[in-house]
Structure 1
Amino acid sequence: MNASTGLVLGIDGGGTKTVAWLARCDFPHHHTAIPNAIETFGRGRAGSSNVRSVGFETALGNLDRAVENAFADAEIPRVMVDRACLALAGAGRNSEQQRIRSWADQCQLTKSLTVVDDALPVLYAAAEDGVGIALISGTGSLALGRNTEGETARCGGWGSLLGDEGSGYQISLAALRAVVRADDGRGPTTQLHQRLLEHHGITTASELIPILYTDSNNRVQIASLAPLVFEVAGSGDSVAQQILDQASTDLAEMVNTLVARLGMSDHPCSLAGTGSVLIHQPAFTQSVRDKLARTGIETTYRAIPESVAGTLVIAMGSTTTH
């Protein structure tokens, strides 16, 4: 067994990027892990590590690069850390987690590895007890809740074909569909039509077909259109506003469902939000909370720009080994 390094590694891997943070911890004297008190000294980034979106070879390669970059940022040689927590989108099944653990063994990543639901660190980044509801809306969407008894439940997270309601992807897809319906004369006119054509540097809606269908794995490209939809909605376009209204309704429904399933309606619910849509569109986030309030669910909200902070909290408090 290698000597203790006092190093802790947290990795948050999603559909757009992989983020790795390196921190130090004096474990014998460390009893609680408060997110704001964790000091990181190495941070690394790489591309997507969602195995269902990019495949294992690319995902594991990006995991490795993020770790390498974190050690390079810390300006220390890469070594086996004492503890690590990996929160990876698309790795919820046991078969996927086993392959990730095998990779961690092969590269001698850590002595103690914890692999968790990709939404769980959001809760621990917001509060050290990990109680509340995490709501994610970025490229994809999902909600995860954990009550005071430690019971957890998920809602959403079904991916682009079956779900991702309220996500940047579905917001953008709804806008693209509104554009082609308007072009056909089947739907109302909308500023989205001209703005999306200008964005892609084209003059007709039919030119969207080769752009959008050439790459079968273009979720990120499509989701990146969401800020434009918000901009058009802000100018008063009713079609864009309806798209965003439906998106906020879908997200509120996820939270509402978890509050009921986990029996969390007796007091204000701690809501932790992350993902590009919730982080960069505060008015939209407030609309989700307003819709929850109209159903009797009061929330205290905390934005979590970097949910990877929660992976460090989990790693520091974990005794799980592989």
Structure 2
Amino acid sequence: MNASDGLILGIDGGGTKTVAWLARCNFTAKSDLSNTMKIIGRGRSGSSNVRGVGFETALDHLNQAVERAFTDAELSQVTVESACLALAGAGRDVEQQRIRSWADQCQLTSKLTVIDDALPVLYAASSDGIGIALIAGTGSLALGQNANGDRSRCGGWGSLLGDEGSGYQISLAALRAVVRADDGRGPSTQLHERLLDHLGITSASELIPILHADPNNRIMIASLAPLVFDVAGSGDRVAMQIIDQASTDLAEMVHTLVDRLGMTTRPCSLAGTGSVLIHQPAFTQSVCDKLAESGIKTTYHAIPESVAGTLVIAAGLNRAY
């Protein structure tokens, strides 16, 4: 592949999907995003979380997303001037080096930035990157950056140690409530009937082979979250408690970062993304309300496509990164 002037690539790879945007950028006119670049191609594939699906599958999905972005732009694949890859599970040097080796082998770009998937959420909300990014999709985490450029994160420990407030943990709590109700150890709940019907089974015991059939079943489990929200909306007390705890957990992450980064003196920009926050506005409002009750004022920005922030970083439009 030959280098192509003005092309930049942004990739957002999470626990459920990988999104790649190809843009043509005017590097001599760094004003705002709309005047500086034009998105010309978009590609999408499966999860590229290396911890969730492994490197082989993650790299395959990265390849697919990039190829589809170039196809969408009706261009042959070439080496782009700059690329930013924001990947869940790639926050450590060992993962980033493996990703860099892949990028070198496929001659992806002349200038590569590899980061985890939280930072672009901040830059999708504002090119200065100041505020708190809150992600609640398959997994969850929060990342904050203050005016001094100090950064800190909270959560993001994965499904075994954390992911509180995520689609996965909401669904897992619902499944645990179902088996406790089935045993008689917990209160009855509509979740029992609704989840069994959804999965096409007639007894809770059938959950065992379904949930253990695939060792990488986080995505499947997380996909049950909309049903839990639906049951909670009908007034089921067990489901309502699960959702309330999830919003409390997310608010706690944000509050922790606001305190740690000294961002309590004025309203804080809160950029939210992930399927749970984007598709459940009442839940998102609950998170903001709990923050307000604890004295944290926020200005909320919904970020349906955080890949936009990777283009800001790839183009060098951000000042704080």
Whether the TM-score (by the shorter chain) exceeds 0.5 is yes
- Counterpart position of 1:189: 188
Displacement, 1:4?
Answer: 4.6
- Counterpart position of 2:33: 34
Q: Which runs of 5+ in 1 are unaligned?
A: none
* Residues 1:107 and 2:106 aligned together: yes
Displacement, 1:238?
Answer: 0.4
* Residues 1:91 and 2:70 aligned together: no
Map 1:125-140 onto structure 2 (within 5 A). Answer: 125-140=124-139
Assess, with a 3 A threshold, how the Cα gap between structure 1 residues 36 and 272 changes in structure 2: closer, same or farther: farther
AA partner of residue 245 (structure 2): Q
AA partner of residue 82 (structure 1): E
Which secondary structure state, in structure 1, belongs to the residue aligned with residue 91 of structure 2?
coil
For residues 138-191 of structure 1, what are the alpha-carbon distances to aligned partners after superposition, in whole Å with 9 as ceiling and x for unaligned? 000000000001110000000000000000000000000000000000000000
- Counterpart position of 2:25: 25
Provide the rounded CA distance (Å) in 2 between the counterparts of 1:36 and 1:171: 41
Which secondary structure state, in structure 2, belongs to the residue aligned with residue 111 of structure 1?
coil
For residues 200-255 of structure 1, what are the alpha-carbon distances to aligned partners after superposition, in whole Å with 9 as ceiling and x for unaligned? 11111111111011111100000000000000000000000000000000000000
Assess, with a 3 A threshold, how the Cα gap between structure 1 residues 5 and 205 changes in structure 2: closer, same or farther: same
Provide the rounded CA distance (Å) in 2 between the counterparts of 1:214 and 1:36: 50
Runs of 4+ residues over 6 Å off in structure 1: none
Which secondary structure state, in structure 2, belongs to the residue aligned with residue 110 of structure 1?
coil
Which secondary structure state, in structure 1, belongs to the residue aligned with residue 231 of structure 2?
helix
* Residues 1:76 and 2:67 aligned together: no
Provide the rounded CA distance (Å) in 2 between the counterparts of 1:101 and 1:30: 29
For residues 59-86 of structure 1, what are the alpha-carbon distances to aligned partners after superposition, in whole Å with 9 as ceiling and x for unaligned? 1111011000000000011000000000
Which secondary structure state, in structure 2, belongs to the residue aligned with residue 39 of structure 1?
strand
Identity %: 78
Assess, with a 3 A threshold, how the Cα gap between structure 1 residues 161 and 3 changes in structure 2: closer, same or farther: closer
- Counterpart position of 2:284: 285
Map 1:120-269 onto structure 2 (within 5 A). Answer: 120-269=119-268
Q: Which runs of 5+ in 2 are unaligned?
A: none
Which secondary structure state, in structure 2, belongs to the residue aligned with residue 145 of structure 1?
strand
Assess, with a 3 A threshold, how the Cα gap between structure 1 residues 61 and 37 changes in structure 2: closer, same or farther: same
CA contact (8 A) 1:35 1:125 kept: no
- The number of equivalent residue pairs is 318
Provide the rounded CA distance (Å) in 2 between the counterparts of 1:304 and 1:38: 19
Displacement, 1:39?
Answer: 2.5
TM-score by length of 2: 0.97
Provide the rounded CA distance (Å) in 2 between the counterparts of 1:185 and 1:39: 58
CA contact (8 A) 2:6 2:81 kept: yes
Provide the rounded CA distance (Å) in 2 between the counterparts of 1:36 and 1:240: 46
Provide the rounded CA distance (Å) in 2 between the counterparts of 1:243 and 1:154: 24
TM-score by length of 1: 0.96
Which secondary structure state, in structure 2, belongs to the residue aligned with residue 92 of structure 1?
coil
For residues 248-279 of structure 1, what are the alpha-carbon distances to aligned partners after superposition, in whole Å with 9 as ceiling and x for unaligned? 00000000000011000000010000000000
CA contact (8 A) 2:30 2:36 kept: no
AA partner of residue 116 (structure 1): I
Which secondary structure state, in structure 2, belongs to the residue aligned with residue 139 of structure 1?
coil
Provide the rounded CA distance (Å) in 1 between the counterparts of 2:54 and 2:29: 37
